[in-house]
Amino acid sequence: MGAIKHKEIEIPVENPFENCQLGRARYATVLTEIIGANPSGFVLAVNSEWGTGKSTFVKMWMQHLIGQGYQTLCINAWENDLIADPSVAILGELGKLSNDKNKAFFEDAIKVGATIIKHTLPDLLKAFVKQYVDIDAVAEAVKNTAKASAELLSESVEEYTKKKEGIEDFKKQLEEYLEKGEFKRPVVFIIDELDRCRPDYAVEFLEKIKHFFSVQGIVFVLVLDKEQLGNSIKGFYGSDRINSEEYLRRFIDIEYRLPQPELRNFCEYLYDYFEFDDFFSSKERSGNGEPAELKRIASSLSLKNNLTLRQIEKLFAHSRLVLKSFSSNNYVIPHLFFFLIFLRNHKPDVYKKLHLKVYEYQDLVEEISSIASIIHDCIETEYIVAELLVFYGTYAREIHKEYYNSEKGSLTFSTSTISSEKLIESIKSIDRNPYNGDNVLSHLFSKIELYSNLV
């Protein structure tokens, strides 16, 4: 069986999107064309919700850019938010572009920058520059300059921004550093996970990019969930009345909304990745359509509930783990099995009431029909409601009365959400199933609850 934790996708150098299961290579082409059309430098935001695979996409795109002749740099802002000042991390990454032709200009930029970087102790600054750049001469210059400028380092960023001459000098040195590097195309500097940082650090990162590093020859790419970053901005200023959308326009020149992935392809990929066929292709089970049934219900539930890629991955991982407790000749009823896994993860109150036999038939049908109606393209709403009703009737028979009067051919309760006639028709169809006499829900719950402590 495949790993329960999804490993990083391999990104081949020659074909970075070879293992992409979401059809996103075309978006990389669009973004590359945007950068090529604006070589002077700007800030581009790649916006998508958490858990939609944008970090993986950007890693693939970064390799694509390298293949197109771009110099690329990348910072995970969240992993660096313990550094007192974002400028240190940015300068450290830029130092990786040093060569014999531009090294001196980088040293000059560091010297000037040391006079305007906020609240950075000299030894700490030296340590970080050495970590990123490993140029002793530069590190020593930073230390000496920072010592000479100790009184300036204690002032606020706002005071430094008023010193236009120093800032402009720094930016000029930085532009010359990039120009002397003789890069044929703009440097693409990717900032990932900014929306997960401390609010004060996220805001300062944006401010530093705008005021200190907005120069010719650098395209900054902010990879973020704009809504979450907006919440950080409101948290930083302590007010929900802040217009975060307007605030971010000060920093972002172009925003690209990463389109939602094709979830059916992703479900196909996860089915293969977690090696479900190791279970479903056994001699006792092969040829009964179970794989297609599971993938249909998974993609339908994921699509209609707007699940993130991480949420879908968790459902597949949980399902595959539970299947370890099934023997090869145990029935699974894949659509019902996955539906219960979904309920446990995303509708826990419904799952709990089913498991504890709390539902009356009327309430069960009303609740399940509202959930099942969203997967109509996969399986008829009335069928899955009837299926749960029939199996719940067996499961909770010692507590609840009969749900169906076979002599009268009618339900023992009323329903307003779906057609009683269609529900009864589905009940009769399910009555002919070979496992109908078994306590199906008891069987499935016993397997799922073996892993009840999974969160």
* In-domain check, residue 111: yes
* In-domain check, residue 364: yes
Question: Could you write out the DSSP letters of every residue in 61-124?
Answer: HHHHHHHTT--EEEEEGGGGTTSS-HHHHHHHHHGGG--TTTHHHHHHHHHHHTTTSTT--HHH
* In-domain check, residue 5: no
Q: Is 383 helix (H, G, I), strand (E, B) or coil?
A: helix
- Mean per-residue pLDDT of the chain: 83
Tell me the C-alpha distance between 238 and 433, whole Å: 60
User: What pTM did the predictor assign?
Assistant: 0.72
The residue from 257, 281, 315 where one domain ends is 257
Residue 401, Cα to own-chain centre: how many angstroms? 46
**Co-location of 50 and 153 in the same domain:** yes
**Co-location of 317 and 297 in the same domain:** yes
pLDDT digits (tens, 9 = 90+) for 191-239: 999 998 888 899 899 999 988 899 999 999 999 999 999 988 888 888 7
- Asked if residue 18 has pLDDT above 50, the reply is yes
* In-domain check, residue 13: no
Tell me the C-alpha distance between 320 and 276, whole Å: 7
pLDDT reported for residue 304? 83
**Co-location of 56 and 188 in the same domain:** yes
Q: Cα dihedral sign for 101, 107, 108, 109?
A: positive
Give the residues across from 223 on adjacent strands. Answer: 46, 192
**Co-location of 350 and 251 in the same domain:** no
Question: Could you write out the DSSP letters of every residue in 264-325?
Answer: HHHHHHHHHHTTTHHHHTSTTTTTSSHHHHHHHHHHHHHHHTT--HHHHHHHHHHHHHHHTT
Tell me the C-alpha distance between 386 and 402, whole Å: 14
**Co-location of 243 and 296 in the same domain:** no
Which is higher by pLDDT, 273 or 355? 355
Query: What is the end-to-end Cα distance of the chain in Å, rounded?
Result: 21
Query: Are 54 and 44 a contacting pair, CB within 8 Å?
Result: no
For residue 333, give every residue at least 6 positions away whose Cβ sits within 8 Å of its Cβ, in sequence order, or none: 435, 440, 444
pLDDT-above-90 percentage for the chain:
35
pLDDT reported for residue 137? 47
* In-domain check, residue 368: yes
- Asked if residue 272 has pLDDT above 50, the reply is yes
pLDDT digits (tens, 9 = 90+) for 112-169: 877 766 544 444 344 444 444 444 544 455 555 555 454 444 444 455 445 667 788 8
**Interior angle at CA 276, CA 270 and CA 280, nearest 5:** 145
The residue from 257, 292, 311 where one domain ends is 257
In this prediction, residue 21 has a pLDDT band, given cuts at 50, 70 and 90, of confident
User: Residue 247 is part of a domain; what is its CATH number?
Assistant: 3.40.50
**Co-location of 213 and 252 in the same domain:** yes
Tell me the C-alpha distance between 76 and 79, whole Å: 6
Range of the domain at 253: 25-257
pLDDT reported for residue 22? 85
Q: DSSP code of 259? A: P
Q: Is 161 left (phi over 0), alpha (psi -120 to 50) or beta?
A: alpha
pLDDT reported for residue 284? 74
pLDDT reported for residue 134? 47
Query: Token pair of 277, please?
Result: 């066929």
**Interior angle at CA 230, CA 32 and CA 313, nearest 5:** 65
**Co-location of 59 and 160 in the same domain:** yes
pLDDT reported for residue 145? 52
For residue 245, give every residue at least 6 positions away whose Cβ sits within 8 Å of its Cβ, in sequence order, or none: 230
Rounded average pLDDT over 363-375: 83
pLDDT digits (tens, 9 = 90+) for 31-87: 999 999 987 889 999 999 887 888 899 999 999 999 999 999 999 998 887 776 888
Tell me the C-alpha distance between 333 and 379, whole Å: 13
Which is higher by pLDDT, 335 or 372? 335
* In-domain check, residue 432: yes
Query: Token pair of 231, please?
Result: 């919440």
Which is higher by pLDDT, 314 or 304? 314
* In-domain check, residue 29: yes
The residue from 257, 273, 291 where one domain ends is 257
* In-domain check, residue 179: yes
pLDDT digits (tens, 9 = 90+) for 401-423: 788 887 888 888 888 878 888 88
- Asked if residue 391 has pLDDT above 80, the reply is yes
**Co-location of 236 and 379 in the same domain:** no
**Co-location of 267 and 253 in the same domain:** no
**Co-location of 239 and 199 in the same domain:** yes
Query: Are 307 and 347 a contacting pair, CB within 8 Å?
Result: no
What does DSSP say about strands 218-224 and 254-257: parallel, antiparallel, or unpaired? unpaired
Query: Are 93 and 75 a contacting pair, CB within 8 Å?
Result: yes
**Co-location of 121 and 144 in the same domain:** yes
**Co-location of 172 and 192 in the same domain:** yes
Query: Token pair of 116, please?
Result: 């305007």
The number of domains in the chain is 2
Rounded average pLDDT over 280-300: 83
